[in-house]
């Protein structure tokens, strides 16, 4: 998980210490985590066999809710999370 730590460091300090390869690996991990949760938490092997998989943000973030606030996008509060 050093890749994730480096991503967080770059975000916090503005200092980029990761390569594009590192970011691709972090994205692949995020996609694998999502796939695992959708498949009853089964183990997902890396590298991913299906290179067409994607991760999209919640519509709340796509419409600027994390910047403009809940009310600006028609939400009364944080979105419900699946259990």
pLDDT average per 10 residues of sequence, the chain (83 residues): 75 81 88 93 94 82 70 73 71
Q: In this structure, what DSSP letter does residue 27 have?
A: H
Asked whether residue 47 is assigned to any structural domain, the reply reads yes
Q: In this structure, what DSSP letter does residue 82 have?
A: P
Domain that holds residue 51: 2-73
| Per-residue model confidence (pLDDT) at position 65 | 65
| Per-residue model confidence (pLDDT) at position 46 | 94
| Per-residue model confidence (pLDDT) at position 30 | 92
pTM comes to 0.56
CA dihedral 77, 67, 82, 43 (to 10 degrees): -160
Asked whether residue 31 is assigned to any structural domain, the reply reads yes
Q: In this structure, what DSSP letter does residue 14 have?
A: -
Asked whether residue 60 is assigned to any structural domain, the reply reads yes
Angle at 20 between CA 19 and CA 21, to 5 degrees: 85
């Amino acid at each position: 998980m050093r890749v994730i730590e480096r991503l967080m460091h770059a975000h916090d300090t503005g200092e980029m210490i990761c390569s594009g390869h590192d970011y691709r690996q972090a994205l692949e991990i995020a996609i694998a985590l999502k796939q695992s949760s959708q498949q009853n938490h089964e183990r997902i092997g890396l590298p991913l066999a299906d290179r067409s998989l994607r991760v999209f943000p919640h519509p709340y973030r796509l419409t600027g809710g994390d910047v403009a606030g809940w009310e600006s996008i028609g939400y009364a509060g944080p979105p419900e999370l699946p259990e």
